[in-house]
Every structure is written in structure tokens, then in C-alpha cells.
């Protein structure tokens, strides 16, 4: 074989020997720095596959000498978050709930956790937005009208022990007796009186008769002015907010066969931290009250009577 190496006279560079129409291709060598970088990446690549998980095998992949694993990394991260939450949860279970709002990070944690607890456990009855369902007697939790109390401690107690829950001895409990023994005309008169309390259309003469019957039969629970009693969960009948419906028929139905709401007790199912979290969430929805209401004091009826209808449930609703 003859030596085909040829030097291009103009650049003094070796040519490849290829020539097209008299134009020859130069064989310029790669720059040193490039070549060494290239070799270094190859060496790095080999070292990397030895140190870190790399080569796919049938059951998994080579583990690598350093024992690094993204899965372990994620597990450690989750554990770290759980640990920091464990601290918050521990503080939440022991904090005085009325002072929760002063502890900004803890309060934020509680409300956020409470929001998901609510979505998972409460929304099926109270509605995703906590607006309640009047037709079914699921109270609106957004307004400031409370059956059992709207302080954060009251709410936590309600959630913890439920309402008329047969399994929890500390459950909130009361029973409205049936008044089906009354004459139909007496029941009508009372219904007119009850509607008069919140300025709904009524017969004034019948309402007058009803007033006396109400004082004798109803005021022990619903209060003399129909303002309700939170120790009994007896609704305020003088505000414009109704649990069971405001129509004459709905009131008659409640008199004849009183319906009473039942709510599960959540203490066992959720644990104290989640009970408190969801109480903080509900308390923050808008109607939360600062301190536990004095049960012996009458509920603040006139304020909400004067207020413009705050929620859909407040209307003279057709729901029965
Ligand atoms: C099975 C349906 C149901 C579920 C689930 C439910 N509730 Fe209730 N809840 C009710 C009913 C019914 C009442 C009203 C009981 C009554 O008439 O006194 C009520 C009342 C309440 C009250 C009292 C309102 C007041 O005016 O005093 C609060 C607070 C409350 N629920 C919060 C919750 C929270 C928080 C959850 C989720 C952990 C929840 N509820 C889950 C049915 C339910
Ligand atoms: C022993 C206490 C008690 C007595 C007495 C009582 N109630 Fe009630 N009443 C309640 C309770 C508790 C509720 C709430 C039931 C529920 O959870 O749905 C209620 C609910 C109602 C409601 C539904 C309110 C709403 O917002 O939809 C009306 C109306 C009502 N009562 C009228 C009367 C009238 C009228 C009398 C007298 C004839 C009377 N009640 C006597 C305890 C009582």
C-alpha cells in the first residue's frame, strides 16, 4: 500500500484523501481540551454506574456502592413531614382551643387539616360548602345561628360526642315531645304564632290564641320569646333561619311528629387532633363565636332577626 497521506499546502494540515471536483477534505484533529473532556465524561459515566443504581436487571437494578435510592429519599421526606406534623398535632391536642387563634402557625395547620377532615367526613350531610340541607334538617354551619353553641369549644364538643348519638353517653341530647294530642285548631293557632315570631304571613287572631298555648307548652324549651335554648338544642324560632322549614305545614308536621336530628360522634373515629382541627375549620367559616355562650343567658335573638337574610336557608323556604 502506498502512503496516501497528503498535506494541504495552504493550511499545512493533513487531508483525508477525499477530493470532490478538486476540493480536498482536511483532517483537522479534535482540540485537546475537547478530547480530554470527552474522556473524562466516559470515566465519570463508568464510576457513576458503579456508585449509583444504574443497570436494569430482571428484579430491579444494580444497587450501586453508595446504596442511594430515590424511594428511601421520599420515605425519609415523608417521615420528616410526619414528624413535624406530629409535633403540631401534639400541640393541637393540648392547646386551649379558645387561645388557638393566637398561635398563628398552629391555627393555620388546624384549619388546613380540618378542611380535609370536613370534606371527607362531614360534607355528605352538611354539604361541601357547609351550607347544610334544610329539607333534611342538616344545619347550615356558615351562619351565626347555632343550635348547640358556636364557640370553638362548643363545636368541638358537638363533633366529639355527636348529637342524639346512642353510643356516646356524653352526646348532646334533647327530645321535643309530640303535640298530636292537641286539637287541630290549637296546633294551627300555635303555628300562626310561631310564624308571627319572624314576621311571616299569619292570622293575627289565631296567633294571639297561639301565644298563650306557646307559653304553656313550648317556652320551657324554645324560650318565652321563641329565642331558643342551646342547652337543649332547641332552635331559635324567632330568627329567619329554619332547620325544618318555615311553612305552616312544616311547623304542623314538627308539632305532630317531631323530627330530631342525629349526628354521629367523631371522637373514636377521628381522634382528638382531627376533632379539634375540624372544629377550628368550622369555627372559622364565618359564624364562630369568641367564647362559650353562657347557657343560662338567652340566645341573642333580636340581632339575627334584624339582619338581612344571610343564607339561602333563611328564606321562607319551600323545602318541607
Ligand atoms: C349523618 C349526617 C351528619 C354527618 C356525617 C355530620 N353531621 Fe353534623 N349534624 C348533623 C345533624 C342532623 C345536625 C343537627 C342535629 C340537631 O338537629 O340538633 C348536626 C349538627 C352539627 C353541629 C351543630 C350545629 C349547631 O347549630 O349547633 C356541628 C358543629 C356539626 N354538626 C359539625 C359536624 C362536623 C364537623 C362533621 C364532620 C366531622 C359533621 N357535623 C358530620 C348531621 C351530620
Ligand atoms: C322538650 C323541649 C321542647 C319542647 C317542649 C318543644 N320543642 Fe320544639 N324543638 C325542640 C328541639 C330539640 C328541636 C330541634 C329538633 C331537631 O333537631 O330537628 C325543636 C324544633 C322545633 C321546630 C323546628 C324549628 C326549625 O328551625 O325548623 C319547631 C317549629 C318547633 N320545635 C316548635 C315547637 C312548638 C310550637 C312547641 C310547643 C307546642 C315546641 N316546639 C315544644 C325542643 C322542644
Q: Which range is least confidently modeled, 36-40, 118-122, 171-175, 298-302? A: 298-302
Q: What is the DSSP letter of 172?
A: B
Cβ of 148 below 6 Å from ligand 1: yes
pLDDT digits (tens, 9 = 90+) for 50-102: 999 989 988 888 888 998 888 899 999 999 988 888 989 999 999 999 999 99
Best residue among 178, 195, 218 to mutate for probing ligand 2's pocket (most ligand atoms within 8 Å of CB) is 218
Cβ of 233 below 6 Å from ligand 1: yes
Cβ-Cβ contacts under 8 Å for 149 (sequence gap 6 or more) = 155, 157, 158, 230, 289, 292, 293
Share of the chain above pLDDT 70, in %: 90
Cell (9 digits) for 177: 315531645
pLDDT digits (tens, 9 = 90+) for 280-290: 999 999 889 98
CATH top-level class of 92-314: mainly alpha
Average pLDDT on 257-286 reads 95
Using CB atoms within 10 Å of the CB of residue 145, give its burial: 0 to 12 exposed, 13 to 18 middle, 19+ buried: buried
Cell (9 digits) for 35: 478530547
Domain boundaries, the chain: 92-314
pLDDT digits (tens, 9 = 90+) for 149-196: 999 999 999 999 999 999 999 999 999 999 999 999 999 999 999 999
Nearest CA to ligand 2 atom 15: 260
Q: What pLDDT sits at residue 3?
A: 59
260 marked as binding residue: no
Alpha helices in the chain (DSSP H): 32-51, 70-94, 104-121, 123-126, 152-161, 184-197, 204-217, 219-222, 248-256, 267-270, 272-283, 301-306
Amino acid at each position: 500500500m502506498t502512503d496516501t497521506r497528503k498535506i494541504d499546502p495552504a493550511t499545512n494540515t493533513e487531508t483525508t484523501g477525499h477530493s470532490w471536483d478538486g476540493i480536498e477534505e482536511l483532517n483537522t484533529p479534535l482540540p485537546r481540551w475537547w478530547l480530554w473532556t470527552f474522556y473524562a465524561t466516559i470515566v465519570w459515566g463508568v464510576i457513576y454506574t458503579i456508585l449509583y443504581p444504574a443497570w436494569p436487571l430482571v428484579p430491579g437494578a444494580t444497587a450501586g456502592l453508595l446504596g442511594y435510592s430515590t424511594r428511601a429519599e421520599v420515605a425519609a421526606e415523608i417521615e420528616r413531614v410526619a414528624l413535624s406534623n406530629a409535633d403540631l398535632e401534639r400541640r393541637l391536642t393540648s392547646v386551649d382551643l379558645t387561645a388557638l387563634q393566637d398561635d398563628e402557625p398552629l391555627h393555620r395547620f388546624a384549619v388546613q387539616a380540618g378542611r380535609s377532615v370536613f370534606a371527607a367526613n362531614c360534607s355528605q350531610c352538611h354539604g361541601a360548602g357547609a351550607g347544610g340541607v334544610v329539607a333534611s334538617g342538616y344545619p347550615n354551619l356558615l351562619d351565626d345561628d347555632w343550635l348547640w353553641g358556636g364557640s370553638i369549644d362548643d363545636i368541638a364538643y358537638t363533633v366529639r360526642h355527636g348529637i342524639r348519638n346512642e353510643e356516646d353517653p356524653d352526646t348532646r341530647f334533647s327530645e321535643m315531645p309530640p303535640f298530636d294530642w292537641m286539637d287541630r285548631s290549637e296546633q294551627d293557632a300555635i303555628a300562626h304564632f310561631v310564624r308571627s315570631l319572624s314576621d311571616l304571613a299569619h292570622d293575627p287572631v289565631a296567633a294571639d290564641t297561639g301565644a298563650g298555648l306557646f307559653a304553656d307548652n313550648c317556652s320551657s324549651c324554645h324560650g318565652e320569646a321563641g329565642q331558643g335554648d342551646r342547652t337543649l338544642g332547641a332552635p331559635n324560632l324567632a330568627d329567619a333561619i329554619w332547620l325544618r322549614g318555615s311553612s305552616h305545614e312544616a311547623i304542623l308536621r314538627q308539632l305532630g311528629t317531631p323530627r330530631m336530628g342525629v349526628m354521629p360522634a367523631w371522637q373514636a373515629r377521628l381522634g382528638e387532633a382531627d376533632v379539634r382541627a375540624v372544629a377550628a375549620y368550622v369555627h372559622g367559616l364565618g359564624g364562630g363565636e369568641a367564647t362559650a355562650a353562657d347557657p343560662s343567658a338567652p340566645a341573642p335573638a333580636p340581632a339575627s332577626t334584624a339582619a338581612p337574610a344571610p343564607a339561602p336557608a333563611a328564606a321562607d323556604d319551600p323545602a318541607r
